[in-house]
Amino acid sequence: MAGFLKVLLRNVLEGPSTDPFPLGKTFTPERLRGRARVDPELCMGCGICRNSCTAGAINITPLDDGSGYTITIWQNSCCLCASCRHYCPTGAMSITNDWHSAHPEEEKFNRLERHTIKYEPCAGCGTLIRPVPASLARRLYAATPEIDPEKIRRLCPQCRRQEDASRNAGVISPTTTETVAARELTSAAPTTY
């Protein structure tokens, strides 16, 4: 009996050795898959996340006026497979370790994340585009210091091609008149002499 009282006294003094979750905070592993999130600053609206989502929990809908799109994640449908995070080219999709997802049945359709993302006008021609995220532009153009990532990320693909062509035109050596004349004679249509 004395052994039992000794164990009882030690347990009373040390407190419970189990997780205090309902009454206090609990340990959450860092890589626990808890909830899908999208960063609207990084999202380009490419739709890879929607196409790779096994549960069909992600929807991208263009706005009626064509000025942007809305991305919706249905947390109730998400199976936490993280394929959206894996395939997202800009890193906009993530899976947080927030595992607190218990909810009443009435709230199941309110468990969604929705962002409306507006297009911006191209700095060159004014066409509505979604600019390349700044972090991605810095990473893409890190090897070429003559390119300003902040300027190039706000250009549409057509203006980017024109900017690239004008930049490369200064690098290419001037051609001689013979090569220019030979280039002018080359065509898809047959020529007669």
Domains observed in the chain: 30-118 (3.30.70.3270), 119-167 (no CATH)
The dihedral built from the CA positions of residue 118, 123, 125 and 129, taken in this order, carries a sign that is negative
Q: pLDDT tens-digit profile of 13-64?
A: 887 777 777 677 777 788 888 889 999 999 999 999 999 999 999 999 999 9
Residue 75 to residue 78: CA distance in whole angstroms: 5
Q: pLDDT tens-digit profile of 127-184?
A: 999 999 998 899 988 888 888 899 999 999 999 999 888 888 776 544 444 544 444 5
The predicted pLDDT at position 188 comes to 46
The predicted pLDDT at position 47 comes to 93
The predicted pLDDT at position 24 comes to 76
